[in-house]
Amino acid sequence: MTALIELQEQISLIKTDLAGRLPDIKDLDALESFRIEFLSRKGRIGELFAFLGRISSEERATAGQLLNALKQEATAAFDARRNDLQQGALAEKIEREKIDLTLPGVCRPLGHLHLLTQVQQEIESIFLRMGFDVASGPEIEDEFHNFEALNIPADHPARDDWDTFYIDDTMLLRPHTSPVQIRVMEQTEPPVRIICPGRCYRRDAQDATHSPVFHQIELLWVEEGLSLANLKYLLESFIHEFFGPGYTMRLSGDFFPFTEPSVQVHMRAPGATEWLEIMGAGMVDPAVLTNVGYDPEKVTGFAFGLGIERMAMLRYGIDDIRLFFGNDLRFITQF
């Protein structure tokens, strides 16, 4: 057998092998190994070029043509298969990721501000319009700002009034927002006109009107010439604006170590017989003004601390404070 005939047989074997195995190749990695087996320099087709050395010079041109044709044919077959595999993978991906635009969308309900936040913001906006600034202070407070500076010395029985959560010997969770009064006055010269909304903590037993965590808004106004009459007028304007007509306010005498005189403010909803205490208030005690370096002979002031939960309860007819913290959507979504 001449070398040319042998070469033709080899070529035909390779073609059969290629045609038989190529359709079974299912992924691009396998195809690449297969291509290397046939088409790399040392691959099965590459090796056939060695025949050229053994073939007579008359037949060498024919042999060369046959080999080049085989190489082209094989390359074209690999390219075609690669193309098929890539198209197939793409089609499969498209099929897998197909979105049915006719399906109804997934509806994510939008939340809204909690009723307590709404009420707090509304009260803030009323006082901002009256010319007050909003101040804030720490929820973890020291005894000095929470008690001493507010005229409540260590052995004062009033400290029992605030059954307080202590963090350690000197730090505590503030039971009221009044320490913010001190923090603001320490840093500001009169006149001072601020409100301070914030969270408070007390060891109060939980019931329909008490929660161990609740919210207050503190108000403080210090200036020359303020009297209890100004406080009463401010309260009436605020109550009227917040509740609208029909609500009744009642002031009664009370005691706070940091105000003198002190009052308790109760409110009654239209048609109701029960009064609900909403805030404590009073004229800032001269001792407190002196503690922060103010001259009580020159300036006077008044302050109050109101419970935000109680305001919301009165306005919306909510009879249990625990509803605010239960996170029951049937309650929350009503507001």
Q: Which residues bind ligand FA5 (CB under 6 A)?
A: 176, 178, 202, 204, 210-211, 214, 216, 218, 256, 259, 262, 277-282, 303-307, 309-310, 321
Task: State in angstroms the smallest separation of the CB of 322 from ligand FA5.
Answer: 10
Task: State in angstroms the smallest separation of the CB of 328 from ligand FA5.
Answer: 19
Cα gap 270→243, rounded to integer Å: 10
Specify the residue, 63 or 281, whose C-beta has the smaller distance to ligand FA5.
Answer: 281
Task: State in angstroms the smallest separation of the CB of 295 from ligand FA5.
Answer: 20
Q: CB under 8 Å to 86, separation ≥6 — which residues? A: 28
Task: State in angstroms the smallest separation of the CB of 106 from ligand FA5.
Answer: 40
Task: State in angstroms the smallest separation of the CB of 279 from ligand FA5.
Answer: 5
Residue 79 dihedral angles phi and psi, to the nearest 5°? -60, -45
Specify the residue, 139 or 204, whose C-beta has the smaller distance to ligand FA5.
Answer: 204
> Which residue has the CB atom at the shortest distance from ligand FA5?
307
150 neighbors 262 (Cβ within 8 angstroms): no
Task: State in angstroms the smallest separation of the CB of 300 from ligand FA5.
Answer: 14
227 neighbors 300 (Cβ within 8 angstroms): yes
Determine the length of the chain.
335
Q: What separation, in Å, do the N-terminal and C-terminal C-alpha atoms of the chain show?
A: 99
E strand or H helix at 117, and its extent? helix 115-129
What are 190's two structure tokens? 């009169």
Please tell me what DSSP assigns to residue 43: S
Among candidates 36, 60, 37, which has minimal Cα distance to 49? Answer: 60
Among candidates 52, 58, 55, 87, which has minimal Cα distance to 71? Answer: 52
Cα gap 325→210, rounded to integer Å: 12
Specify the residue, 127 or 214, whose C-beta has the smaller distance to ligand FA5.
Answer: 214
226 neighbors 296 (Cβ within 8 angstroms): no
Compute and round to an integer the Cα radius of gyration of the chain: 44
Specify the residue, 197 or 282, whose C-beta has the smaller distance to ligand FA5.
Answer: 282
Specify the residue, 18 or 182, whose C-beta has the smaller distance to ligand FA5.
Answer: 182
Specify the residue, 74 or 288, whose C-beta has the smaller distance to ligand FA5.
Answer: 288
Task: State in angstroms the smallest separation of the CB of 133 from ligand FA5.
Answer: 17
Specify the residue, 198 or 280, whose C-beta has the smaller distance to ligand FA5.
Answer: 280
